[in-house]
Amino acid sequence: MLAVAFCGMLLGLCYVVVFLNGVRLAFHKERFKCKQCGNCCRLRIIEMKKDDVERIKKAGFKDFFVKEGREYWFKRKNGRCVFQKENGPCSIYGVRADICRNFPFFRIFGVEYCRDVSFCPAIEDLKKNVKSGGKVR
Ligand code: SF4
Ligand code: SF4
């Protein structure tokens, strides 16, 4: 029983450390430079808001989303967002969803943090840049 409680505490502590690290990275958000590799477009983590759907529809696109309950998701083709071109870039860049514009930065309880995911090469650059005090670009 004690061991379970200890593991729970340790896990909680890990979450806090990861979250605080993400907040620290988000503090330096202006140094983040997306490499447009398109890796984030291949994952099923791209949940749109209704406003995004309306904006993209207004731009003339149809049949690009699925609605699950109150959630909107980009349709996928060949394991990627339907709007992602073969070689990586987005084909609706100007009207893409807010989550696409902001990735990998999110807000939780009003606090912005960077989701430190290994598939985003720009996060590694950001970390190096922050570590070097902005000397590495
Ligand atoms: S809309 Fe564009 S940026 Fe957003 S997931 Fe699709 S291809 Fe990527
Ligand atoms: S994974 Fe990172 S670097 Fe690649 S397109 Fe997405 S935000 Fe940009």
- How much is the pLDDT for 42? 85
* Sequence spans of domains, the chain: 1-32+108-137, 35-103
Lowest-confidence range among 16-30, 36-50, 65-79, 107-121? 36-50
Mean pLDDT confidence for 58-62: 96
- How much is the pLDDT for 11? 80
| Nearest-atom index, ligand 2, CA of 39 | 1
Check if the beta carbon of residue 118 is closer than 8 Å to that of residue 23: no
Check if the beta carbon of residue 45 is closer than 8 Å to that of residue 74: no
pLDDT for 101-134, tens place per residue?
A: 999 999 988 999 999 999 999 999 999 999 888 7
Evaluate if residue 29 carries a pLDDT over 90: yes
Evaluate if residue 136 carries a pLDDT over 80: no
Instruction: pLDDT band for 28, please (50, 70, 90 cuts).
Output: very high
Check if the beta carbon of residue 36 is closer than 8 Å to that of residue 89: yes
| Nearest-atom index, ligand 2, CA of 121 | 3
Q: What are phi and psi of 45, to 5 degrees?
A: -125, 10
Q: Whose CA is nearest to atom 8 of ligand 1?
A: 41
Q: How far apart are CA 59 and CA 108, in angstroms?
A: 30
Q: Is 46 left (phi over 0), alpha (psi -120 to 50) or beta?
A: beta
DSSP code for 83: T
